[in-house]
Amino acid sequence: MSVETKGIILAAGKGTRLMPATLPASKPLLPLYDKPMIYYPLETLVRIGIKDILFIVQEDDLPIFQKTFGSGEDTGLNFSYKIQKIQRGISDAYFIAEDYLSGSSSVLALSDNIFLGKKYFNYAEQALGKMHQIGSSVFGLPVPDPEKFGVIELDDKDNVIGIEEKPSNPKSNLIIPGMYFFDSNACELVKTLKPSARGELEITDLIEIYLSQNKLALQRLDETIVWHDTGNADALLEAAQKVKNYEKENKIKMGSYEIAAYEKGFIDKNQLLNIAQKFSKSDYGQYIKNVYLGGEN
């Protein structure tokens, strides 16, 4: 019997570029439009069928994360928590999560990466499927300034043949944004990594191991997908405006992992109504009850 894929959300960033906004609150819990930033990657994990999710947080932030999300039981999910004491890079998540994963495959999401687009969740499902078939998969996102990111090099058959971190002459306009799909070998493979010049265990180095073993699949995201890395105040404000406009245009509520849990069958209608009631004074709760559920009691 195969072990179900588990989710990891890396939410231990100090948010130094957003200070003083992050002095009273952890960056992933800052509001992005009308909900905490971390709701958006959390929704993605739920929409691709993941119920077991680990939050990796700073030690000081643990109580507020536990207060915010609890056990996940109310939404039919299973939430766990671990602390990252020293920031050692994205790949460090697999040292921290080794016991938690216990041999399962995983999807690792960065808490400050926001994706919008009608096809996005379909692409995430396809990436998950490719990981199960091949061993790992990453998104390939076209951007106008690839030199600022990890850039994917392709051959003439669209196969990934290289990854270059912040190259001065990018070999493509495809970058790897902050969601990664790995089989059960990730925890062992990170143990072979050496810290980079900036002292971190780079996620690109882990991805390159899978590539060297011919176990890396590419899931392209098309030009309709909007992506935000909310690293500074301007980016956070721009992302919030994009979310607001996207929700208004499409008459939906993005980032609602509770609605996602209902649509995946993890909770029933009464349980979703109970969640809406908890937020009854806000637009968020009113949307779930009066728009999504049509005002049912």
* E strand intervals along 251-293: none
pLDDT at 97 exceeding the cut of 80: yes
Residue spans per domain, the chain: 6-266
Residue pair 153/147 in contact by the 8 Å Cβ criterion? no
Q: Which pLDDT tens digit goes with each residue over 238-270? A: 999 999 999 999 999 999 999 999 999 999 999
- At residue 249, the 3 state secondary structure works out as helix
Confidence grade of residue 1 (pLDDT, cut at 50, 70, 90): very low
pLDDT, average across residues 43-54: 98
**Average pLDDT over all residues of the chain:** 94
Q: Which pLDDT tens digit goes with each residue over 137-186? A: 999 999 999 999 989 999 988 889 999 888 999 999 999 999 999 999 99
Q: What is the predicted pLDDT for the residue at 15?
A: 86
Q: Which pLDDT tens digit goes with each residue over 100-137? A: 999 999 999 999 999 999 999 999 999 999 999 999 99
Tell me which residue of 241, 116, 131, 109 sits closest to 177, measured CA to CA. 109
For the chain, give the percent of residues with pLDDT over 70: 98
Q: Which of 127-131, 191-195, 231-235, 238-242 has the lowest mean pLDDT?
A: 231-235
DSSP string, 109-154: EETTEEEE-TTHHHHHHHHHHHHHHHSEEEEEEE-S-GGGSEEEEE
Residue pair 140/174 in contact by the 8 Å Cβ criterion? yes
Confidence grade of residue 294 (pLDDT, cut at 50, 70, 90): confident
Q: What is the predicted pLDDT for the residue at 297?
A: 55
Q: What is the predicted pLDDT for the residue at 221?
A: 97
Tell me the H-state helices in 135-268: 186-189, 203-212, 233-250, 257-263
pLDDT at 296 exceeding the cut of 70: no
Q: Quick one: the chain helix, strand, coil %, rounded to 5?
A: 40, 20, 40
CATH number of this structure's domain 6-266: 3.90.550.10
CB atoms closer than 10 angstroms to residue 272: 23
Tell me which residue of 176, 24, 37, 35 sits closest to 108, measured CA to CA. 176
- Cα–Cα distance for residue pair 32/241, rounded to 1 Å: 9
pLDDT, average across residues 12-37: 91
Relative orientation angle of helices 120-134 and 39-47, to the nearest 10 degrees: 60
The set of residues, in sequence order, having a beta carbon less than 8 Å from that of 296 and lying 6+ positions away, is 269, 273, 289
| Cα 201–chain centre separation | 18
